[in-house]
Amino acid sequence: MEQLKVVLGKRSYPISIGSDTIEKENIFYPLNPGNQAMLVTNKTLANLLKDKVFFNLRKSGIKIDQVIISDGEQFKTLNEVEMIISALLEKKHSRDTTLIALGGGVIGDLTGFSASIYQRGVPFIQIPTTLLSQVDASIGGKTGVNHVLGKNMIGTFWQPSSVIIDINFLKTLPYNELISGISEIIKYAIIFDESFFNWLESNIEKILVLDNDAICFCIKKCCELKSKIISLDEREKNFRALLNFGHTYGHAIEAHSGYGNWLHGEAISVGMIMASRTSELLGYLKKSEYNRILYLFKKVGLPIKGPKNMSAVSYLPYMMRDKKVISGEMRLVLPISIGKAKVFSGIDKNIILSAIKDAQ
């Protein structure tokens, strides 16, 4: 097992990565024997993993209750938050309780948001079960739920107390969920680390078959990169905005298509192609680098074209509601080369529309 640390002063926390991490002693930091906790998971994972996690929590002497919600992005709403809050109140959980998120990004976001508002804030632990949440969503303290007009429009910054990553959980993933997570791995390589991108080009097949060494290397690399960014810019005033590469376009696809019809990683995959094409049209990204990016997504089997029933112009209203918009000015994260990205504003709408049309 390997451990990293997100350095945020008094709110610093450990990330534990390995096989069977859930079975290690004292892994459920900051919980101690006799403490109260509420496990939040979905119906799918309740059948697959909940009993194993429950067993280890009880073995650690934790008084554990549970709330099980429906599975899917379409259930990332205030209704589910109310379900979690109601379960906490019904089971008489006080301000010293800890919430535990067992699931992917949806469960992590819902649990973190509920923890941030329950009795004005209680601790929570992330146990991410999808590749996407292990490399990205579980780290950094972004929580929230969707609104019909936009993704993640209701939320808070609320850091977890610890993140427990067990790579064995990835064996439960459907194949499309696995490759959805790979899109976020590619994101880190494109915006931060050219040598990591080169490594992915040579080793992507190992990740697709869940080779332990390759998966551990990828998760650790992404966690290291994100931890560094969070430590520098916790509340997205500066560098952290780079992590939204592809998301302005991708969130538009998710909102337009109806949450849950496109997996997050699939939508972001198309979004990254559109952002890369925008950069190429502006004269920043070389055509050869754009082609390398395109080929890697194709090699993984991720989508590179947006929904057929979504016109280019229909992206714009969603993109203008993006959280990076300032004073009515759209801001986009664009790669200027493989391994380096910048935030741009004032881009001609016709160039954005052309990039979208090229990926339709």
Nearest-angstrom CA–CA distance, 56 and 12: 24
Q: What would the pLDDT profile of 288-302 be if each residue is shown by its tens digit?
A: 999 999 999 999 999
Q: What would the pLDDT profile of 52-95 be if each residue is shown by its tens digit?
A: 999 999 999 999 999 999 998 999 999 999 999 999 999 999 99
pLDDT at 259: 86
Cis peptide before 174 (omega within 30 of 0): no
The answer to whether residues 171 and 45 touch, using CB atoms and an 8 Å cutoff, is no
DSSP per-residue string spanning 219-285 = HHHHHHHHHHHHHH-TTSSSGGGGGGTTHHHHHHHHHHH-TTSS-HHHHHHHHHHHHHHHHHHHT-S
pLDDT at 295: 98
Scanning the structure block, which residue is given the tokens 């925008």?
Answer: 278
| Predicted confidence (pLDDT) at residue 343 exceeds the cutoff of 80 | yes
| Predicted confidence (pLDDT) at residue 312 exceeds the cutoff of 90 | yes
Least Cα distance to 77 among 137, 1, 144 occurs for 144
DSSP per-residue string spanning 39-106 = EEEEHHHHHHTHHHHHHHHHHTT-EEEEEEE--SGGG-SHHHHHHHHHHHHHTT--TT-EEEEEESHH
In whole numbers, what is the pLDDT of the chain averaged over residues?
95
The answer to whether residues 166 and 118 touch, using CB atoms and an 8 Å cutoff, is no
How do 150-157 and 162-166 pair as beta strands? unpaired
pLDDT at 239: 87
Show the domains of the chain with their CATH numbers. Answer: 2-172 (3.40.50.1970), 183-358 (1.20.1090.10)
Q: What would the pLDDT profile of 3-35 be if each residue is shown by its tens digit?
A: 999 999 999 999 999 999 999 999 999 999 999
**Which residues belong to the active site?**
120, 142, 184, 226, 236, 240, 244, 247, 251, 264
pLDDT at 200: 98
The answer to whether residues 45 and 119 touch, using CB atoms and an 8 Å cutoff, is no
In terms of C-beta distances under 8 Å and separation of at least 24 residues, what long-range contacts does 202-208 make, across chains too? Answer: 204/296, 204/299, 204/300, 207/182, 208/178, 208/179, 208/182, 208/300
- Give the CA distances from residue 348 to residues 106, 252, 276, 328, 343, in Å, rounded to whole numbers and listed in that order: 34, 18, 15, 14, 15
CB atoms closer than 10 angstroms to residue 42: 23
Nearest-angstrom CA–CA distance, 175 and 335: 28
Least Cα distance to 33 among 12, 1, 56 occurs for 56
Distance from chain centroid for Cα 278: 23
Q: Work out the average pLDDT over 152-173.
A: 96
